[in-house]
Amino acid sequence: MKKAKITILSLLALAVTAFLFQSFAKQQVKEPWTEKQLMEPSELVQIINNENKSNTYIFSMGHAGHIKYSIDIGEGRDKKNIAKLETEVSKLPKDANIVIYCGCCPFGDCPNIRPAFRLLNEMKFTNHKLLNLPVNLKVDWIDKGYPMKD
């Protein structure tokens, strides 16, 4: 009986250790963007409302909705859409002002923004940003009355 109790406790300890390691490893995953590369929604609203918005390119990488003046690429988890993004941005100078967003779900769960942002990094763009939509497009943009496509 004592041996069985020790074995159960050992297995329990091993399971807890594995869980903690997995949680720690998940937290250590480095995002492809830096804090400086996050753009607040209010900043993009100012750009959209500015008459000289033609030098900023906004790409929608999801299906949650389309911000005014954005170019719909499609879900970034789909390789054909990443290829579509590559075709679109290959026409731009490397210092172009590029903003990508999805907004389908919280950042931590979004399958669409990381492939798109990695592509921009790999293509050596120098002024690309990710729209900071920590909850989703509805809460962080639409509910605030920010401009959407008609």
pLDDT tens by residue, 10-51: 555 555 555 555 645 444 568 999 999 999 999 999 999 987
Determine the pLDDT at residue 98: 98
Residues 6+ away with beta carbon under 8 Å from 140: 41, 103, 132, 133, 134
pTM for this prediction: 0.79
Q: What is the mean pLDDT of residues 38-66?
A: 90
The conformational region for residue 122 under phi > 0 = left, psi -120 to 50 = alpha, else beta, is alpha
Q: Residue 50 has what pLDDT?
A: 87
State residue 114's pLDDT score: 96
Amino acid 22: pLDDT: 60
Do the beta carbons of residue 95 and residue 126 sit within 8 Å? yes
Percent of the chain clearing pLDDT 70 (strictly above): 79
Which candidate, 119, 139, 24, places its Cα nearest to that of 76?
119
Percent of the chain's residues with pLDDT above 90: 71
Residue 145 has pLDDT above 80, yes or no: yes
In 3D space, the residue among 81, 76, 86 whose CA is nearest the CA of residue 112 turns out to be 76
Closest Cα to residue 89, out of 50, 128, 63?
128
Average pLDDT taken over every residue of the chain: 87
Average pLDDT rounded to a whole number, residues 95-116? 94
